[in-house]
Amino acid sequence: MNPTRTILIIDDDPTHLQIYRMVVETAGFRGLPILVSSVGLNLPEGETIDAVLLDYRLAPNISAANVARQVRARFPTVPILILSDLLDAPADTAPYVQGFVRKGDPEKLLARLRELVGQSV
């Protein structure tokens, strides 16, 4: 695997950002954490992004579907993977994302990211 593959990690919890950054970096990816605040998020400029890991449950006034739309506008071809504790993929994000993984299974998460990064090459 190319260690320069960058995974944009989007969450509203700084602790979760650190955890998922550690998970993806241990697997050889470069993790780029983006904190969602109550007023939104600032997507990176000038970065090559290979995949996006987006937490589904965010701040009360910003939805994952809204964030996914923003990501899709900035990075039109980059695959987005939703991370959630829900049992099934959330319908509101379906038009924007390429996958869904339940929290608590880092091996499955990494396997899905590897698939998505392979598709984006």
Q: Tell me what pLDDT residue 2 has.
A: 47
Q: Tell me what pLDDT residue 113 has.
A: 93
Name all domains of the chain by residue range, CATH numbers in brackets: 6-120 (3.40.50.2300)
- Supply the angle between the helices 106-120 and 14-26 in degrees, to the nearest 10: 70
Alpha-carbon span 64 to 121, nearest angstrom: 25
Confidence band, pLDDT 50/70/90 cuts, at residue 119: low
Over residues 71-104, the pLDDT tens digits come to 999 999 999 999 998 888 788 888 889 989 999 8
Nearest to 32 by CA among 12, 53, 60: 53
